Amino acid sequence: MPVQEISLVVANRPGALRNVAHVLAEGRINVSALSVASQGNRSFCRLVVSDTENALWRLRKAGHKVDATDLLIVRIEDRSGALLRVLDVLATKKLNVLAACILVTRAQQKVLVGLAVSNPGRARKILSESGFLEAGAEDLVTNADLVAGTPSEIPGESVGLLL
């Protein structure tokens, strides 16, 4: 199963994000990555959690409109300009990046990056042909792995930083 990211909009006011965290905590759902950006009276939240289906159910039950998006997992060098090369390929092929997050830092100079894009099937083909989407890379990490600790095949630590 691919890594999934949950997105929702909450009011841009004190306690709004706390209420989301409370719903997840009640369900014993761990958050491994979180991004919040506010504009006007709304805040846009993106989360990677240990149990996406449970989180979706609980957040909907609490009255939130939520969506889940599959992330393509690409492996890039851990150096300046590496992400730019992937973004160049997608932009050249007119694929829009909807979201991006750094999932795991590797000790062997590699980083796994999850991307939500406008056309996942096409992006998967293009990134695979360009050498950025390796066979099995998406199997290296799951939502639960990001929260539970480091998968045995991947040295390093969970970063949980959304761009």
pTM (predicted TM-score): 0.65
| CATH 1.10.340.30 given to domain 4-69 | no
DSSP state letter for 138:
G
Could you tell me which residues come within 8 angstroms of residue 52 by beta carbon, excluding any fewer than 6 positions away? 4, 6, 68, 143
Class of domain 71-162: alpha beta
Question: 6 - beta bridge partners?
Answer: 47, 68
Q: Tens place of pLDDT for every residue, the chain, 163 residues?
A: 688 999 999 998 888 989 999 999 999 998 878 888 889 999 999 998 989 999 999 999 999 999 999 988 888 887 889 999 999 999 999 999 988 877 655 445 566 767 777 788 898 899 889 888 876 777 767 777 665 554 444 334 333 333 2
| H or E element, residue 25 | helix 16-26
**Do the domains 71-162 and 4-69 match in fold?**
no
The domain locations on the chain are: 4-69, 71-162
Locate the DSSP E strands across the chain: 4-11, 31-39, 42-49, 66-70, 72-77, 97-106, 110-117, 156-162
